[in-house]
Amino acid sequence: MKKIYAIYGTGGHGREIMPELQSFLEAKLKFNPKDLVFIDDELRNETFVNNFKTYSFKGFLKSFKGNYLFCTVAVSAFQIRQRLTNKCKKNKVQLLTIQSPDAKVYDTAKIGEGSIISPLSIISPNVDIGESFHLNRFCNVAHDCKIGNFVTFGPGVKCNGNIIIEDNVYIGSGAIIRQGTKSKPLIIGKNSIIGAGSVVLKDVPSNVTVIGNPARVLNKLI
């Protein structure tokens, strides 16, 4: 048996992260580039995306039956990412965390399975992150932050220390989150969206969109 590595999703993020997966694996072990593939459920037939073989999920399972299967879901919408992640687990496909060799992650940081840590990003000491976290390029997660499951940071997000970010939050490009304290961390509630370029100075409720500097509630999502 051999190990097969897949990125689930051929959108922009998936195509951006595939070279990072290749570099990540090259730094750790010997492997055949043919063992790297894409998964895209909209495909009816096998094809190639950026020179990588691409399968539907059913085709992936059938083609590599009996091998060790690993997958990272590279889809930004948390509802879809959660559904595809659960499908991988149900079919005994191991969740794979991709960390770019150009990212800096401190030893005392904890990162959940299925996460993507992009180039030129930093995760500082004593950060605790849930599963399937997407950290885009040029982001910074400072010390003592706690981040839930299926959270996404767009490029250039600055998350200062002592922040709690609950599940399913999306933070747009260039947003800045003010530092909390150990006794009173700043909290961003579940399912919320922080607009690109926003400056968050206080707690954000669950199920809202906030935008601006300082960030204010634009609407309620639920």
Residues belonging to the active site: 143
Query: Residue 110 forms beta bridges with which residues?
Result: 128
With left for phi above 0 and alpha for psi between -120 and 50, is residue 51 left, alpha or beta?
Answer: left
